[in-house]
């Protein structure tokens, strides 16, 4: 398994209950995607992750949002589940349910060409910052400072995965 084939799907917060479940904070806008996984990779990074079979998974609604409760093979007690605490949970892209039209993985964005609605080239997405209110697309611009574009419909009109392009409608000062 290549580390590049793994996508971050959650972060193990801690053990939950007495039967070996782990409380997982989903890294997806659709936590249901975690329920159909038969195998995940758990570790601090994709390179250091090990494959683990998922014995059971369910969702829990909390004040902090939806969490997944996942029982991994070999974890039958809270002490065994605690060994996974603070580790990342990864899955292979092909093991995840297909995305709905208009949905995309954040890791697909770096390298995309960014243009304005008028057709002017702004630059290329260098990285995505995951922020509490909305993600920020960091757009590398040759000979200029990076542009920080909020990933909200008011600024980002289209994300075209097939053509690797992103169309933005900047307000005054956004690209200055």
Token pair belonging to 105: 């993985």
- Tell me: pLDDT of 79 over 90: yes
The SS3 assignment for 111 reads: coil
Q: Are 71 and 21 in contact (CB under 8 A)?
A: yes
- Tell me: pLDDT of 136 over 80: yes
Mean pLDDT score, 43-58: 94
Q: Say which DSSP state 108 is in.
A: G
Phi, psi (deg, nearest 5) at residue 35: -75, -20
- Tell me: pLDDT of 174 over 80: no
Per-residue pLDDT band at 1 (split at 50, 70, 90): low
Instruction: For 73-89, give the DSSP string.
Output: TT--SHHHHHTTTT-EE
Query: Each residue of 30-45: pLDDT tens digit?
Result: 888 889 899 999 999 9
- Tell me: pLDDT of 72 over 90: yes
Per-residue pLDDT band at 4 (split at 50, 70, 90): confident
What is the Cα–Cα distance from 8 to 128, expressed in whole angstroms? Answer: 14
Helices (H), the chain: 78-82
Residue appearing with tokens 């757009």:
139
């Amino acid at each position: 398994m290549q580390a590049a084939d793994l996508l971050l799907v959650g972060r193990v917060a801690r053990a939950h209950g007495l039967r070996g479940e782990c409380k997982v904070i989903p890294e997806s806008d659709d936590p249901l995607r975690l329920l159909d996984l038969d195998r995940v990779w758990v570790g601090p990074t994709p390179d250091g992750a090990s494959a683990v079979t998922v014995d059971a998974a369910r969702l829990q609604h909390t004040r902090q949002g939806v969490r997944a409760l996942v029982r991994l093979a070999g974890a039958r007690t809270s002490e065994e589940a605690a060994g996974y605490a603070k580790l990342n949970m990864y899955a292979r892209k092909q093991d995840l349910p297909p995305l709905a039209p208009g949905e995309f993985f954040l890791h697909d964005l770096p390298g995309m060409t960014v243009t304005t609605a008028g057709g002017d080239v702004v630059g290329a997405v260098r990285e995505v910052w995951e922020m509490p209110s909305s993600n920020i697309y960091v757009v590398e611009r040759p000979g200029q400072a990076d542009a920080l574009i909020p990933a909200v419909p008011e600024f980002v009109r289209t994300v075209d995965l097939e053509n690797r392009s992103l169309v933005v409608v900047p307000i005054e000062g956004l690209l200055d």
